[in-house]
Each structure stands twice: as C-alpha cells, then as structure tokens.
Amino acid sequence: MTTLAQPTTEVNATTPRPENISRSMSAWRRRLLIGIVVAYAALLILAPLTALVSGAFAKGIGASLTALRDPAVFSAFLLTLYIAFITVAVHALFGTVLAWVLVRYRFRGHWLLNGVIDLPFAVSPVVVGYMLLLLFGRTGVLAPVLEALNIKIAFAVPGMILATLFVTLPFMAREVMPVLEAFGVEQEQAAATLGASGWQTFWMVTFPALRWGFIYGVILTFARALGEFGAVLVIGGGVQGRTETVTLFIYRALDERQYVGAYSAALVLGLLSLALVIGTELLRKRENR
C-alpha cells in the first residue's frame, strides 16, 4: 500500500507572527499619540513661556530685575495678591457650601442653580465688568443707595473683588462636587449613628475625603484670580497705584512700549501659577505613595 504524505506547512523563522505585528502597530500608535500630545502641550504652554523668558531677558537679567523693582509693579502685585486671597477665602467657604447643597439636596430650581454657576464660563469678563458698572457706576441702578452710604464700588477695589468673585465662581464648586458625589453618604451616616455631630462628621469624615478636590478648587481659583483682566479693567479703570493689578500693568506697559517690564511681570505671574499647579501635583503624588 502506498501511504499518501500529508502536506506540511513550514513557518519561516524570519516571518513576523500576527501577534508581533499587532503589538508593533500598537506601540507605533502609542508613540504617535504621545508625540502629538507633547507637541500640542509644547505649542500652547512651552512656546509662550519661552517667548516670555526671551522678552524678559532681552536686555539682560539686570534690566529685568530693575523693571520688577519699579514701585508700580510692586503695588500691582500687592493688589493682585490681595484680591486673589480674598477671592479664595470667600469661595473656599461658600463654594464648598454651594457644592454640598447641590449634591446633597434636591429642591425647586436645583437644575437652574446648577447651570447658572457655569455662567462665567460663557460670559465675557468684559461684559461682567460692564454689568457691574450698570449696577454700581455713577449712574447705575444702585448709585443713590451707595452714595447715601458713602460706599464706592465702581473704579475701586471692592468692584474689582466682586468682578473676580464672579469670574472664579465655578472652580471651587465644580472641583468639589464630583468628589462629594463619589464619596456618598454611608460613612457620614455611620458617624451619625456613633453619636457624632454634624460638624464633627464634616471635619473628621467628609472633609478628609474632599481634601484634594478642595485643594484643586483653591489652586484653580487663585490662579484664575491672578490672571483676570477684562472684568477688573472695566470696573476698576486701571488707575495706576490704586486699581492697577499685574495684568493691567502688563497691558499699560505694552501700550507704552515698556516691553522688558511687561514681559518680566508676565513671566513672574505665569511662573507663580505654574508653581501652584505643579506643587499640588507633587503633594498629591507624595500622598498617594
């Protein structure tokens, strides 16, 4: 009898296996995606920062330091930090309470309030400043009341604080709300059954769980307050030495062709905001170890 030989298929050792090809293509896509993201971030962040450094030190470090020692720059930074700290203090309290109410309670108009707090994202800061002028300006709706009480809002620091509070309204609430929703109420209920008061429950149970959302909200609020321009320009007027923040100083310095001073102040402001964000990330990374 003749036995028919079965056909054999030999696999060439040099022929790539399908799984290797798939793995190689996946690695190629990953590298491409990472490259696109890095280029995108570099274009939007590193390129402007490089331009600021180049402009600030165009005439040497000495010229930049001299520009930063200008009394107008010092006064602008003090006012900016003053407004930013007040804004953070107000939103740290009321923004957290707002987030708590929106997450824990349901009431008539809940959806409206939840939507209104995002209004600063949609409304131009210049429009915000103009609305405040319509309310608190010399011919504004509330002008007679303010005049009788001898209170000045428009073209003064209180008006600039109000404008900054408005444009920074969403940051604290929007950072705290998702953390509060994920946390739930089980641990709070357990603390209550053990006899803890509402205040004790908040400080010992709820707040530790919210701390990173709270910290991020504070950082974002502070950074946004530092960089506000349009609203404070309209309501404050940008009076040098009185209502001129750092952003308004930069605008004036550029208009007067004081480029070194403008770039130097902008660089310091940008580095301050960047340091806040990076510092927060490092703290969270250390906490998660």
Nearest CA-CA partner of 206 in 128, 115, 99: 99
| pLDDT tens sequence for the chain (289 residues) | 445 555 554 555 555 565 565 666 677 888 888 899 889 988 888 888 888 888 888 888 898 899 899 999 999 999 999 999 999 999 999 999 999 899 988 899 999 999 999 999 999 999 999 999 999 998 889 999 999 899 999 999 999 999 999 999 999 999 999 988 888 777 877 877 877 777 777 788 888 888 888 988 999 999 999 999 999 999 999 888 899 999 999 999 999 999 999 999 999 998 888 888 888 777 777 666 6
What pLDDT does residue 32 have? 87
Q: Which two tokens stand for residue 36?
A: 């696109």
Distances (CA, A) of 30 to 38, 61, 91, 188: 12, 41, 40, 43
What pLDDT does residue 24 have? 65
What pLDDT does residue 263 have? 92
Domains along the sequence of the chain with CATH? 62-287 (1.10.3720.10)
Helix, strand, coil % (nearest 5) of the chain?
75, 0, 25
What pLDDT does residue 26 have? 76
